[in-house]
Structure 1
Amino acid sequence: MGWVTVLVVAAVAILLIALLVLRRRGKTDDGSGAASVDFAANLALAVYLLVLAYAAVLCRDALATSQTDVQAEAETLTEMYWSVAPIPEAAPIRTQIRQYSAQSAELDWPLMAKGEMSPIPTKMLKDLRAATIQLRPVGEQGKSLQQDALTHVSEVAHARSLRADDAGSGLEAIFVISMLISGLLVIALPWTLGARPTLPSIIGDVVRVAVVVIGIGFIMLISHPFSGLSAVGPDAFTTAQQQYDQIDYRFPVPPTAE
């Protein structure tokens, strides 16, 4: 939101300064050179719209990918909970899965908006893997379920690394620079004629500035998958916690494991 505020303030300041200068020093519009300026402005507008559209597609794809990765991690945690639930000796692992899910949602998400991840859930995941390896189930079925749980915990670790990559992603600087340069050209090129502002020209200036500012501001608000508009939230982990409760209903925790 800070970038958007700066963008709006800068655009309004540029517009007001340009109108003030042209009002004082501008000349009556005689149409000389208007055709070439219009061509250049239309070309800049085409480039601006092309970059804007491509950036919007990239941001949308990044949001979709991040949502898929978060959903996959939560579903894998649920599958791991299903794997260990029938094993009486694995009751502590259930608690660790719940704690990892809760701490990921509580600690990771505020940091992911800044491209970072909390080290606490990372350590908890390592402890969860170690506890699953050290598990000594009774019977072949228990051992098979342990292997499934080990597979799932590896998948969770991979999903977490993908989530970290998603948190560190964002729109490349070349797109932001291209939008800013082309947008400035769209706004400023008509002013190069030096014509004194009239009511129709002022309306046109305001529309041009608004279109450029809204377009760039919108892209900036969706440029990161875990912040701004349509940010990916921890809803999948909240749903997973509800799934754990349902699994506990089917496989109650043995009293001796408390």
Structure 2
Amino acid sequence: MGWVTVLVVLSVAILLIAFRVLRRKGREDEEHGSSSVDFSVNLALAVYLLVLAYAAVLCRDGLSVAETDVQAEAESLTEMYWAVAPIPEAASVRTQIRQYTAQSVNLDWPLMARSNMSPIPADTLEDMRASVIRLRPADEQGKNLQQDALTRVAEISHARAVRADDARAGLESIFVISMIISGLVVIVLPWTLGVRPTRSSIIADMVRVSVVVIGVCFIMLISHPFNGIGAIPPDALKTAQHQYDQIDAQFPAQP
């Protein structure tokens, strides 16, 4: 959030400096080249709004994909819990599934806001895979459940890798640069006329600056799937934790 504050403060500072300079050195309002400047401002505004809209669509699509990936991981965890629940000697695997889920919520999520992941859940996942491989079911049904559990482990491992990619994802810099450049043109270009500010021009300048700054800040706040106003919470994994309890009621764990 710090860069948002910097952007707002910088924009206000530029606005105040421009008003001060134009008030001291600006000439009286004249119809001198204003038509061409107005055309250029409108063109820059159109480019800015186009980039802004496209960036908003990309950010929203990224959030939707990341949310779907988290839900898929939670579903794989739940299905794996169902798979090992009927196996009497798989109590330790149940514990590891619960540990992995809790570690993902408590350790991964705070770091994912900064595009990182904790190594602890990954270690737990590898131990979980080894525990499933070491199972020795007594009947054919148990062997089928063990194979299903191994398939689910592979799905969870893939889902974790995808979640790591989602945590490192963000809006491409070309869009941010395009928004900033076109926004600056929209803000600064009318000042090139050197006209002394009036009440109406000051209001127009403030509106232009506000539109550009709010647009850029909004895009940046939704550009990361696990940070900002559109951050994806770990609700899907928390729901899986509640489902574990329901599965335990159907298949009580045996020591």
Please classify the TM superposition score into its range, dividing by the shorter chain length.
Answer: over 0.9
* AA partner of residue 92 (structure 2): P
Q: How many residues align?
A: 255
> What does residue 157 of structure 2 align with?
157
Which residue of structure 1 lines up, in the alignment, with residue 245 of structure 2? 245
2:211 is aligned to: 211
**Partner residue in 1 for 2:38:** 38
Please, what is the CA RMSD of the aligned residues?
0.5
Segments of 4+ moved more than 3 angstroms: none
1-structure distance, mates of 2:110, 2:250: 34
Instruction: Name the SS for the 2:231 alignment partner.
Output: coil
1:44 deviates by 0.5
Whole-Å separation in 2 of the counterparts to 1:131 and 1:31:
81
TM-aligned CA deviation for residue 98 of structure 1: 0.2
User: Secondary structure, in 3 states, of the residue corresponding to 1:178?
Assistant: helix
Aligned to 2:75: 75
Q: What's the TM-score, normalizing by structure 1?
A: 0.98
Structure 1 residue 31: Cα displacement = 1.1
- Residue 210 of structure 1 deviates from its aligned partner by 0.4
TM-score by length of 2: 0.99
Query: Using the alignment, how far apart are the partners of 1:67 and 1:193 within structure 2?
Result: 49
Q: What is the one-letter code of the residue matched to 2:154?
A: S
User: Per-residue deviation at 1:247?
Assistant: 0.1
Residue 87 of structure 1: aligned partner = 87
Deviations 1:113-157 (A, max 9, x none): 111110000111011011111111110000000000000000000
Q: Match of 2:66?
A: 66
Deviation per CA, 1:191-227: give whole Å up to 9, x if none: 0100000000000000000000000000010010000
Consecutive unaligned residues of structure 2, counting only runs of 5 or more, are: none
Measured in 1, the distance between the counterparts of 2:230 and 2:218 equals: 11
Q: Does 1:131 align with 2:123?
A: no
Instruction: Determine if the alignment matches structure 1 residue 96 to structure 2 residue 96.
Output: yes
Counterpart CA distance in 1 for 2:216 and 2:31 is 31
After TM superposition, give the deviation of residue 238 of structure 1 in Å: 0.6
Instruction: Tell me the equivalent position of 2:111.
Output: 111
The answer on whether the counterparts of 1:3 and 1:220 sit within 8 Å (CA) in structure 2 is no
